Amino acid sequence: MAKSKKKKVVKKVVQPVFNPQKYIIDAARKLPIHSCLVNEAWDEMGMAVVIITRLRPKGTFVIGTYVVDTFCLGLKDTAWWVDADEEHLERIQKGMQLDFVEIEEDVAFNIIYGAIRYAKNLDFQPHKDFETTQYILNPFSSIEDLELTFGLNGKPNYVQGPKDKPLSIIQKLERKLGKAGFEFTMEAGNMPYGLPTLDDDEDEHEGDDDTEYADYEEIKDDKK
């Protein structure tokens, strides 16, 4: 009686799908820092655009950008890229339309973390994508506190940005600090003279700008 031949089973090897966000969270802090850039005169402008690059083994970069209002609102915007090259980095810089200079990594981290801490004391949360881009920075607990100065002349100074809800922001500052506790600058023609105060309509804009994002100090730091 002929022996039956067993069919050879060939197992398919399924390659995991590369998830760039997960890669940043799991691996970015293990990569060496390649450069830290910031726009010139950021401390005078009250707006710092920080660009952090980390070098991957294959020669490409992980890049994080951080738009930081150092006078009031903290981290207003942040973005990330994985597997970027030098040309991509140059395009990012040109797109910002600013002149950048290199700075020490501790200075770069202090600008970002310090502004976030300052803004949180005013009840402003960092941009939601910081939940990912924080992992391009060294952990907050590991950096030296350089005690940079935030605000302007000892007070928060809100300068309206193009995507802001200025009335909500000003009312939040007024609730926190009182009318004399901060300064603000509005775009010409955008805010009528006689700005409404909390006494006029305290609840009308309540919650407009109060979305709670993860606190950088509360996110578990087990990815170091």
pLDDT in tens, 141-169: 999 999 999 999 999 999 998 888 999 99
- Residues written for the chain: 224
Give the least confident one: 111-115, 156-160, 201-205.
201-205
Check pLDDT > 50 for residue 75.
yes
Confidence of residue 187 (pLDDT cuts 50, 70, 90): low
Q: Which tokens in the block code for residue 88?
A: 């991509």
**Mean pLDDT confidence for 94-102:** 94
pTM over 0.85: no
Give the whole-angstrom CA distance, residue 187 versus residue 161.
Answer: 8
Check pLDDT > 60 for residue 200.
no
**Mean pLDDT confidence for 90-111:** 95
Domain regions of the chain by residue span: 30-145, 152-211
